[in-house]
């Protein structure tokens, strides 16, 4: 879920949830999945573009992100909260560990688990407080647990044809701080995945717009690449 925005490494600016895409597929037919990702972030008239190939494996929740633009960087994360950023050109690596880095903490995981009704809000202790019907739209409001009162007043979800198409996040002062749109859904066996995610993050009087498109999505036997088995070279130099 795109609830917390944290800086992990000095790397291309893309929404943090892109680092947390994988989930345990224990109850699903998806064993592994790979896809192409293109991201554009607009802030104060400047556009930052990121292009990457993403590789997810269900056995250990291992996710490998191979950056194409900017190139020469590979990120590896798992469900234990261990993450490493490898610079191919310099043969250096940076390690971090923490619950917030776990591949179990992501937003896309809830699509993969079929938790499209609440996008995993229930798992974080949110409770549904209201439901409104507007034509073919279902609008629900979710209130946070006491432990998150300092961050959120409520979160609003909008569904169309049982799929989430919009989420709005309100901070403790009831100010709208984030809007997320999900579109271009694609169906893969047991799950639907959004092909396009558009975020609007409001910071004071400013805003950051992130547009992320996923393509060439392949699962199971179609997901073939040596990158699933990538290992950081043993002679890579450790950086702080």
pLDDT tens-digit map of 125-179: 999 999 999 989 999 999 999 999 999 999 999 999 989 999 999 999 999 999 9
- Residues 140 and 156: their CA atoms lie apart, in Å, by 6
What are the φ and ψ backbone dihedral angles of 122, each rounded to 5 degrees? -60, -35
Residue 210 lies in a domain: yes
Beta bridge partners of residue 209, listed in sequence order: 42, 200
Report residue 104's pLDDT band, with 50, 70 and 90 as the boundaries: low
According to DSSP, the β-strands at 163-170 and 127-134 are: unpaired
Q: State the CATH number of the domain containing residue 79.
A: 2.50.20.10
Q: Beta strand pairing status for 176-188 and 32-43?
A: unpaired
pTM: 0.78
Q: Is the pLDDT at 17 greater than 60, yes or no?
A: no
Residue 193 placed within a domain: yes
Amino acid 71: pLDDT: 81
Token pair recorded at residue 146? 């006491």
Is position 161 within any domain? yes
240 inside domain:
no
Q: Is residue 236 part of a domain?
A: no
Q: Which candidate, 222, 196, 220, places its Cα nearest to that of 210?
A: 196
Q: What is the mean pLDDT of the chain?
A: 83
For 142, phi then psi, to 5°, come to -125, 130
Those residues whose C-beta lies under 8 Å from the C-beta of residue 219, and which sit 6 or more positions away, are 30, 31, 32, 33, 188, 189
With respect to residue 155, please indicate whether it lies within any of the assigned structural domains.
yes
For the chain, the C-alpha Rg in angstroms (whole number) is: 18
Please give the share of the chain, as a percent, with pLDDT higher than 70.
Answer: 82
CA atoms within 13 A on the CB side of 13: 11
Residue 180 lies in a domain: yes
Number of structural domains, the chain? 1
Does residue 140 lie within any of the structural domains?
yes
Residue 41 corresponds to which tokens in the numbers above? 């972030």
| CA separation for the pair 14, 24 (Å, rounded) | 23
Q: Where do we find the tokens 């795109």?
A: 2
Q: Which residue has better confidence, 78 or 15?
A: 78
> Could you tell me how far CA 5 lies from the centroid of its own chain?
11
Q: Which domain holds residue 192?
A: 16-220
Give CA–CA dist 96/83, Å, rounded.
5
């Amino acid at each position: 879920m795109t609830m917390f925005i944290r800086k992990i490494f000095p790397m291309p600016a893309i929404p943090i949830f892109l680092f947390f895409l994988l989930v345990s597929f224990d109850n699903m037919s998806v064993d592994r999945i790979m896809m192409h990702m293109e991201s554009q972030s607009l802030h104060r008239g400047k556009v930052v573009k990121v292009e990457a190939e993403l590789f997810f494996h269900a056995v250990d929740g291992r996710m490998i992100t191979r950056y194409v633009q900017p190139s020469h960087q590979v990120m590896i994360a798992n469900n234990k909260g261990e993450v490493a950023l490898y610079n191919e050109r310099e043969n250096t690596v940076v390690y971090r560990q923490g619950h917030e880095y776990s591949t179990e903490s992501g937003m896309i995981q809830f699509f993969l688990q079929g938790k499209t009704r609440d996008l995993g809000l229930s798992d974080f202790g949110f409770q549904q407080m209201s439901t409104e019907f507007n034509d073919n739209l279902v609008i629900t409001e979710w209130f946070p647990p006491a432990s998150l009162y300092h961050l959120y007043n409520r979160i609003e979800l909008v569904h169309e044809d049982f799929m989430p198409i919009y989420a709005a996040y309100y901070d403790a002062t009831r100010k709208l701080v984030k809007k997320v749109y999900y579109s271009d859904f694609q169906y893969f066996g047991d799950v639907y995945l959004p092909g396009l995610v558009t975020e609007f993050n409001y910071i004071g009087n400013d805003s950051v717009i992130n547009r992320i498109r996923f393509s060439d999505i392949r699962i199971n036997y179609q997901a073939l690449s040596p990158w699933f088995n990538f290992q950081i070279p043993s002679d890579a130099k450790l950086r702080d």
